[in-house]
Chains A and B, each alone.
Chain A
Amino acid sequence: MSADDVELFGMALAETGIMVGVSGLLSLVLGLPLGVLLVITHEDGIWPRPGLNRLLGTIINAFRSTPFIILLVALIPFTRLLVGTTIGTTAAIVPLAIAATPYYARVAEMSLREVDRGLLEALRALGATRWQIIREALLPEALPGLVSGFTVTLVTLIGASAMAGAVGAGGLGDLAIRYGYQRFDTGIMVGVIVVLIVVVSAVQIGGDELARRLNRRL
């Protein structure tokens, strides 16, 4: 592997890192409140609002059922409005975050719903407000699941970011397409696959370990 290749991989890895990192963070910040809202507005949640719950569910499903490559293109006008450009890493972050947010909202919802209803009842019996129930019971009790869910979201984002090459965002996937596929450079292709396996494994193992350490239920 030449020094050029190393630089190529370094660049691609950094681009993927930025795209996945920033969109992942955004999906966490936006998706978690959505997940909480989905759980508490459920008809047997602590703030039952069935109408709102259905509306949120429908919107989330709409985004979730659109393939990412289509979302990427369909969101171009919105991306331009938001970040002033439709190409490059920054431009890719917008659709990535928008795709990952409903995904994480659903994943978070599942973890939050696993929280024992008895705990929420105990908090109500102690005179806790809804906000206190969320802060003291719902979120902390679901934390290991929320971390595992975020790990899955990051891995999914790494996969989706490969398509971001379509808007010139670079990254590992783009490297594999341009060099490995279009220029028949099998070495680069294999290299990208190896790097992706290592990165995904690292994220997965790190996430699992964190979730395990946080879990006090054992």
Chain B
Amino acid sequence: MTSADLLNPSPAAAAAPHLRPAFAPDSTGLHAPAGDAIVRLESISRAFGSVVALREVSLTVRRGEIFGIIGRSGAGKSTLIRTINGLERIDAGRIFVDGRELSILNDAALNRARRNIGMIFQHFNLLSMKTVFENVELPLKLAGEPRAARASAVWQLLDMVGLRDKADVHPAKLSGGQKQRVGIARALAGKPDLLLSDEATSALDPQTTLSILHLLRELKAKLGVTIVLITHEMSVIREICDRVAVLDHGQIVEGGPVWEVFGHPRADLTRQLLRTVRPPLPESLVEALHPVPVAGDRCLLRVDGSGAEPYAAVLALLAGDSAWQTDIVHAEVDRVGGHPVGTVTFSVRYREDPLRHLLAAAERRAIDLEVLGYVGG
């Protein structure tokens, strides 16, 4: 489904998200046309002894996007991202990066291919005995670039991440955020088309996390580098990713454009992960909720969705009848990738028949309208 479809929803297209089965690789939107793919994984599997880390994972990363892979620890994220630059071998399947099949390369060819794939790490993995300058210079040195050419490239990279004044300092003297900036500069030194980020912000505080994420987005825009990141934090996905895949027990259970997945999470895991970025109703309200209405109660209605339509449509339905005495009790709407995404909870006066009609009308328009319960009026 394209964003144009969502802006002008035909009944069929608008209904589609609800009709998608819980797991069907081809409906997740993770398969882009081969032409603009920079990474293509074709049902890759990997097991460690009897523990299956990845089970027939297929996905396509488009050139120029930021692709997020989210999952709990132990879901196989680390293994998955490491297969993309061959740090982790696979038992079955095929891996294409930049149109080249990575999974069949020999050591020397794999090393050359890796120089076109940058990687940053949760624990930065900077060489403690080398200065910031030497760390950033390392990939160029490994590639055999002459010293003079290396120096100017390194200064440029240090300017880009704002660490020119730290060139002669050793990593131990840097803060976590600064270390990751060095990591990013090092990863980009070889002018890679692809940058892999392995929980790059997981060891950082929220403020530093944001600054690193913004730097990544800025570098993506400036250099056109494609980014694949893994994280266990939905906030990271929301902040910078264009598309997301949700990994659970080595399988992709859900995927697609971030705003769509956020708006219509299908997998239980996705809903759980989303709770961290979308707080539930206030505790006091939840405690007052009861499932069976009594006369004089008010009814809590929640609209879940993405795009402006669900909220506007429900508001329009409610506004047509002042007897509803409509009130908004809770709203959490974010902009994700330019689309409003979130939930709005309305409180309306409980009237049995009109409520039934309202729910039926919402269903006809494929609006995710749900009765949460009832509270005393």
Contact = CB atoms under 8 A, between A and B. Distances in A.
B123 interface: yes
A23 B200 CA distance: 47
A128 interface: yes
Given A126-B115, A127-B111, A121 B125 contact: yes
Contacts of B171: 216
A13 to B, nearest CB: 35
Contact of B112 (A123, A127, A136): A127
B128 A216 contact: yes
Give the interface SS of chain B, mostly helix, strand, loop or mixed.
mixed
Interface string A119-150: 10111111111001000110011010000000
A119 B127 contact: yes
Contacts of A126: 114-115, 119, 138-139, 142, 186, 190
Contacts of A123: 138, 142
A216 B174 CA distance: 12
Contacts of A43: none
B127 A136 contact: yes
A20 B87 CA distance: 44
Interface residues of B, number: 29
Interface in B112-164: 112-115, 117-119, 121, 123, 125-130, 138-139, 141-143
Nearest to A141: B129
Contacts of A218: 172
Q: Is the interface of A mostly helix, strand, loop or mixed?
A: helix
Q: Considering residues A125, A132, A137, A218, which has the most beta carbons from chain B within 10 angstroms of its beta carbon?
A: A125
B170 interface: yes
Interface in A90-119: 116, 118-119
Interface of A: 116, 118-119, 121-129, 132, 136-137, 140-141, 143, 214, 216-218
The 8 closest A-B pairs by CB, nearest first: A122-B125, A127-B114, A127-B115, A125-B119, A216-B170, A118-B125, A127-B111, A140-B129
